[in-house]
Chains A and B, each alone.
Chain A
Amino acid sequence: MKLKKVICGLFLLFTTSIAQAHLLNMTNLHLDTTNPDAVTLRVKIDLGQSLLSPQDYWRTVNMGSREQWVNIEPAVNKLLDGLGIFVNGVAVAANLETWSLVATSLEAIENPLSPQMAELTFNLNNLGLESSTALANASIELRIAEWLEVPWPALLRIDSASRQLPVSRLLTSSDRSSRSVPLSADSAIAGSSFAAKLAMEFQGWIPGLSWVAIGFQHIIPWGLDHIVFVLGLFFLSTRLSTLFYQVSCFTVAHSLSLGLATLGMVSVPASIVEPLIAASIIFIAVDNLCSPVLSRWRFVVVTLFGLLHGLGFASALSELLLPAENFYTALLMFNLGVEAGQIAVLALAFAAVGWLRSWTAYTERVARPATVTIAGVGTYWLLKRVIF
């Protein structure tokens, strides 16, 4: 190993590559909106390679701060002119608050491969918004004018109080706008399915409604086994009261176990719950076929199965993150969504075959074949969940 001395002043080596070499000195823009009373934009820019000449920059670096300001003012104004900041589409003004100019030598500034980054902090005090909630719901866009050249690309980072993570946008010489970036929170469900995105939209104006939508989805379309179970209850008898009592027991029970499991008070592995749910479907269907009247112990069984299905919902729910701040509301809303989904299933069943219930052959031609099919589906799930 030999130690080489640092050699200075060898900066004229680069011929063809200089024009493309502006990469290490790329521009950084940091828009911080976490404190609504002190929104700032921090710009890290290679001033000596962009808005000032290397010589001017080097002279300025070595001045006292008052003279520095005189020297950088035109460049700062040019930057402000070319840097458009828009809150809800309306341009807002920025004022330079502090600056720090860094450089090691004139040669270093002249060398495009050695970034000498100046840092300028602007405040955006007058956003034209009434309250901090207005800021949380605002969207913000940053644009660099066509005529303004900064060392590209420019990385924009936006921090906001209601987002856990910052947002990043890359601005390039041909793509000079960040486009509108909403400052509101992105939740754990963002970006998954279309339905979840729709739920997010709803959340904007009725908080909690998105959890209703998610609960609903856990019946239609994702909760096929729960749909089949509820249909099993539906096909027991043609009497509405029979159905009503069963569904009530089922609902109370699964709400209870969903709550307990989500709070962590009960925990049963899915490898046990899932086959048992399949078994419950078979049981209900076979019971329908063998004793077509509502016996008392049927209530007990339906309640037990309700507890079981609640555990199933809980394990599905555990894959989503319930918000810590309004946990109980979200849980309640999720459960309401499940009930709504259940009611929707029954309504559809009525629409499909309910009007046939007074037909004398209804039991023989509709209810029994349907129930046999339900038992078959349950058997298939049981085999699949136990064996495969």
Chain B
Amino acid sequence: MGLIKHSEKLRISAGIATVASLLLAFDVAFSAMAPAHLAFPLDERAPGEFPDAWIHGSKSAMDNDDPAVQVHAYNEHTYILRENKAINYEGAFMYLFFGNEVAMLIDQGSTSSPALFPLREVVDEIIDGWEERNGQEDIELIVANSHLHGDHYAAWNQFVDRPNTVMVGLTHEEVMAFWGIDNYPQQIVNFNLGGRELVVTGTPGHQGSELAIYDGWTDLLYTGDMFYRGRLYLEDWDAWVASIRKLRSIADQNPVVHLVNNHIEMTAKSGVDYPVGTTWQPSEPPMQMTLEMLDQAVEASFEIEEPGIYTYDDFLIYNQVPWSYTTDP
């Protein structure tokens, strides 16, 4: 190193320092210009709101002029969608969770036809608006499902040709591979949705591929079709017992503000449901449920021993009873 002069050394050092500091300056300027990285902290609860009442169908499907899909922003990064009950009586709820550079659509309703039920269009519109407000572009969409029943993936095909989209798939194996669950249903996995930590676990009982999702940012616990205000059709009682108690233990270990789910079938009157196939539900209770209701379900899991229909204030348990039987003639 002694081969060069002192002044030369200085010149070289100055050159190196100039290049490095220019690059650093560019870097700092660029990251200042880049869209802000959204944070989804777990320690404080992100607030959200439900509508006073959901759009709940109409007396006659002919003169229903409500939107095919009701869009409700629970908060700026959490959307709850509902299929118009006049299009399909299931009136299924769907969820759209946003993280950095990614959104996840859970469930795709009960109607396939884009003309009757333009779910893709609605979701694209929500994503466009979200991208604009949050300074993000071309975010990825994950198309996932709470469970594998036809009334929750009918519009799945509307997304298969969508660019920048991950289709989780409609077989048990594809679903579990996507979430990284290799010991269903026991395993509890953490799923990072663009910085938003989700806790996901198997909750069979209603259907053998069902999942529950806990969102630590909003403290919402999503229970799909295995626990909602309505007829809980259970094909596998023992599996459901284990699932509902596991939800209770997840709620013991994590703060839960509401339990959210897929349908409303109860009336405002305790223990009374709307008949199967109802397309107008003028006095619907809220969709979200409380931890007290979860406790009641856990209690039921100890009480019930035989197949049959069991009535509780906020839900009915159809333990291994065929789908069709209704309680209200």
- Give me the interface of A with B, judged by CB distance under 8 Å: 1-8, 10-11, 13-14, 16-18, 20-21, 23-24, 26, 104, 108, 111, 113-115, 152-153, 155, 157, 164-168, 170, 172-175, 282, 285-286, 289-291, 369, 372-373, 375-377, 379-380, 383-384
Q: Which of A166, A172, A285, A373 contacts B173 (CB 8 A)?
A: A166
Binding site for A on B (CB under 8 A): 1, 3-4, 12, 15-20, 22-24, 27, 60-61, 87-90, 110-113, 149-151, 153-154, 156-157, 169-171, 173-174, 177, 275-279, 300, 303, 308-312, 321-327, 329
With beta carbons under 8 angstroms apart, the residue of A3, A155, A173, A379 that contacts B20 is: A379
Contact of B322 with A379 in the complex, beta carbons under 8 Å: no
For the complex, give the distance between the alpha carbons of A166 and B312 in Å.
40
Q: Which of B1, B4, B19 contacts A380 (CB under 8 A)?
A: B19
Apart from A153-B153, A373-B15, list 15 A-B contacts with CB within 8 A: A4-B309, A16-B60, A20-B111, A21-B277, A113-B276, A153-B154, A153-B157, A164-B177, A165-B169, A174-B112, A282-B16, A286-B16, A372-B12, A376-B18, A379-B16
Contact of A372 among B19, B90, B278 (CB under 8 A): B19
| Contact call B326/A157, Cβ cutoff below 8 A | no
Contact present for B16 and A376 (CB under 8 Å): yes
* Contact A152-B18, Cβ < 8 Å, known A20-B88, A113-B277, A166-B173: no
Which A residues lie within 8 Å of B27 (CB)? 380, 384
B88 contacts across to A, CB distance below 8 A: 17, 20, 23
- Residue of A21, A168, A286 ringed by the most chain B CB atoms within 10 A: A168
A6's nearest neighbour on chain B, judged by CB, is B325
Q: Which of B1, B19, B303, B327 contacts A4 (CB 8 A)?
A: B327
In the assembled complex, the Cα of A13 lies from the Cα of B18 at a distance in Å of 81
Q: Smallest CB-CB separation from B152: which chain A residue?
A: A23
Cβ–Cβ contact A168 & B174, under 8 A: yes
How far does the Cβ of A71 sit from chain B's closest Cβ, in whole Å?
Answer: 24
Q: Which residue of A lies closest to B280 (CB)?
A: A16
User: Are B19 and A373 touching (Cβ within 8 A)?
Assistant: yes
A380 touches B169 (CB 8 A): no
Using A172-B157, A383-B24 as known contacts, say yes or no to A115 and B311 having CB atoms under 8 A apart.
no
- In the assembled complex, the Cα of A300 lies from the Cα of B200 at a distance in Å of 51
Contact A375 B19 (CB under 8 A): yes
A43 CB to closest chain B CB (Å) equals: 15
Q: Contacts A6-B309, A114-B323, A383-B24 given; indicate if A175 touches B157 (C-beta within 8 A).
A: yes
A-B contact pairs, 9 of them (CB 8 A): A1-B312, A17-B278, A23-B150, A113-B323, A115-B323, A165-B174, A372-B15, A377-B20, A379-B19
In the complex, the chain A residue whose C-beta lies closest to that of B176 is A165
Residues in A whose Cβ lies below 8 Å from that of B308: 3-6
| Pair A155/B23 contact, Cβ less than 8 Å | no
The 6 closest A-B pairs by CB, nearest first: A376-B19, A114-B324, A379-B20, A26-B150, A372-B15, A380-B23
CA distance A16 to B169 in the complex (A): 32
**How distant is the Cα of A115 from the Cα of B235 in the complex, in angstroms?**
13
Contact A108 B324 (CB under 8 A): yes
- A152 cross-chain contacts in B, Cβ below 8 A: 112
Contacting residues, chain A, for B170 (C-beta < 8 A): 155, 157, 168, 170
Contacts A1-B311, A13-B277, A170-B157 given; indicate if A290 touches B3 (C-beta within 8 A): yes
Query: Are B18 and A1 touching (Cβ within 8 A)?
Result: no
Residue in contact with B4 in the complex, picked from A153, A165, A289, CB distance below 8 Å: A289
B171, A24: Cβ atoms closer than 8 Å: no
Task: Tell me if B174 and A166 are in contact (CB < 8 A).
Answer: yes
B residues within 8 A CB of A164? Answer: 177
Cα distance A23–B173 in the bound complex, in angstroms:
22
**B77 nearest CB across to chain A (Å):** 26
Inter-chain contact A165/B173, CB cutoff 8 Å: yes
- Alpha-carbon distance A165/B167, docked complex (angstroms): 13
Find A13's partner among B90, B154, B276 (CB 8 Å cutoff).
B276
Known: A6-B308, A155-B170. A170 touches B20 (CB 8 A): no
Question: CA A7 – CA B60 in complex, angstroms?
Answer: 28
A289 to B8, CA, bound (A): 10
A286: chain B residues at CB < 8 Å are 12, 16
Q: Given A13-B275, A13-B277, A165-B169, are A172 and B112 neighbors across the interface (CB < 8 Å)?
A: yes
The residues of B that contact A4 with a CB separation of less than 8 Å are 308-311, 327
Contact B153 A16 (CB under 8 A): no
